[in-house]
Amino acid sequence: MEKIAVMGTGSWGTALAILLAKKGHHVTLWCYLESEKEQLESVRENLNYLPGVPIPQNIIITNDYKEAIVNNEIIVIAIPSKFLRSNMEQFSPYLTPRHLVVNVSKGLENHTLLRMSQVIEETAPQCPVAVLMGPSHAEEVARDIPTACVSSSRSQKIAERVQDLFMTPTFRVYTNPDLIGVELGGAIKNVIALAAGVVDGLGYGDNTKAALMTRGMVEITRLGLAMGADIQTFNGLTGIGDLIVTCTSMHSRNRRAGILIGKGKSLDEALNEVQMVVEGVHSAKAVYELSRKYNVEMPIIREINQVLFEGKSPREAVMDLMMREKRPEHQTEEIHLAHKVSWKDE
């Protein structure tokens, strides 16, 4: 059995710590605040983010990140994207080449436009890095509801190690060499889910949601191909799979925030009501800047940015999308960009 530290006690970090502990791994769960540590130890339940799910007694809880890192070999990063770099800079002096860093947070860094694995590689270049992504609400994983995810890394052996680490009868893990596509799908679907929530908040129907999700997937794929991803990734769990679950479920904090905005709440009011990190808000500007950098047309991304940050009316945004210049559904140049990604170390 492996010695694992899960860094972060949000719903996803807590759920994965529980999954790994149930599998028999030696698990340490790191939290930022001493007060949070005391609460988790006393009630053995994450009342703020995962109420009703007991935390096994064999999980060690600490707020000492040095202790968590030095005493373990696999470091699972479950920290919101906007805090990743600052935390990794603190962790890095204690990380060595024997550590494997597994990122499970979805997002992009705003000022650099980097994916999360790239931020980790910059701040802790001494460590191998992998990611675990896919359609996986913490509330369901913690309750052993069957789920499937994807492990990705530059190294096939590392991706397979992560696959073995997390695989259980209720948590199936596939591998995929397309690190770019896996991470982009996980990050951008949050922004599309915000837009899907806005559509729901406006009171539009299934037709509208289907159109938004389908064209949202086209935009994700366009950018992914321009950045070197494999088109097949976007047809898989970290593409269409993650998009479906995030755009349709009330577990999705991105969709819930979008619903509130569609009903007339301001961005700040929506975030205050959700009371959890809404990754789509933090990634929206970065995705838009990437679309400009790679000269990729992403009208849904453009409109949701205007709604979030420029005060545009959601109804006006939908109308502008509907009344864009007519065109065919498929573009030949997008197909020509398609290529296959394979492992680099085999």
Catalytic residues, which ones?
189
Q: CA 240 from chain center: how many Å?
A: 14
Measured CA to CA, the distance from residue 44 to residue 100 in angstroms comes to: 27
The phi, psi pair for 143, rounded to 5°, reads -105, 20
Question: 159 Cβ partners below 8 Å, 6+ apart?
Answer: 130, 151, 152, 153, 175, 176, 177
For residue 67, the tally of other CB atoms under 10 A from its CB is: 15
The phi, psi pair for 151, rounded to 5°, reads -100, 135
Measured CA to CA, the distance from residue 107 to residue 283 in angstroms comes to: 6
Question: 189 Cβ partners below 8 Å, 6+ apart?
Answer: 106, 216, 220, 239, 242, 243, 246, 247
Sign of the Cα torsion 236, 158, 87, 178 reads negative
Question: 233 Cβ partners below 8 Å, 6+ apart?
Answer: 176, 178, 181, 182, 185, 224, 239, 341
**Residue with token string 């700040």:** 268
| Token pair recorded at residue 313 | 């009316």
CB 306, CB 312: distance < 8 Å:
yes
